Amino acid sequence: MNVLYILWLRQIKRYLRSRARIIGSLGQPILFLFALGFGLGPMFQKGGGGSYLDFLAPGVIAMSILFTAIFSGIEMIWDRQFGFLKETFVAPVPRLTIMVGRTLGGATVATLQGFIVFLITLIAGFRPDSWSLLPLAFLCMFLIALTFTALGTAIASSMEDMQGFQLIMNFLVMPLFFLSGALFPLDNLPSILAILVRIDPLSYGVDALRFSLIGVGHWPIGMSLGILSGCLVLFMLVGSWLFSRIEL
């Protein structure tokens, strides 16, 4: 438990010390929120969709969590190259415990990032449909963060250089985001696009978060949370197996 706590606390301290990282990671969500939220808002409203800012805000929050969570894997490659991971492996604990500690730390950081973006959406004019559902919204945010931190850690476990990790993540992250329904409604999609949306785990996170914030969901909330939890378990199992095979 001490190792798990140390790994969790270490990643949070890294995040809080890096003001440039915090500010820099807010650029893209703010751009999406203001440029698309206000730029496409009149067209969305004329189409009968209501406020596009309200529709977009949960997607932008999920995007911020996704990017922060999945790129947390790069810290493991950094630790691997500079020897900290080797020191961690010396501790008399199972590697699964180390994997869980790193995942919890990265997920906590990603959730904090999502909370900051949530505050920015409030400044932009977004208001949740029911404030009483905010605890459910934060649960959805943390579940999204856990799932994609586990995915990023699993991929990082099988790689040794940061450049290769960044290339794979850029290839993976943008399709995950754009196919999640963060920017467009999921009703009446072309059949091929509908299939891609259904196999994207982020789709269920965005849908659950949107339901908890504005009361609109494409799937039942229980189904979305269940599928997202299943993906979390799968990514943790795969990540643990890959993590156990790391050779220093």
Please state which of the ranges 51-60, 74-83, 197-206 shows the lowest mean pLDDT: 74-83
Asked whether the predicted pLDDT for residue 43 surpasses 80, the reply is no
pTM (2 d.p.): 0.91
Domain count across the chain: 1
- pLDDT per position as a tens digit, 93-150: 677 777 888 888 889 989 999 999 999 999 999 999 999 999 999 999 999 999 999 9
What is the span of the domain harbouring residue 137? 2-244
Question: DSSP letter at 48?
Answer: T
b/e for 142-180, b at 16 or more Cβ within 10 A? bbbbbbbbbbbbbbbbebeebeebeeebeeebeebbebb
> Which bin fits 76, alpha (ψ -120 to 50), beta or left (φ > 0)?
alpha
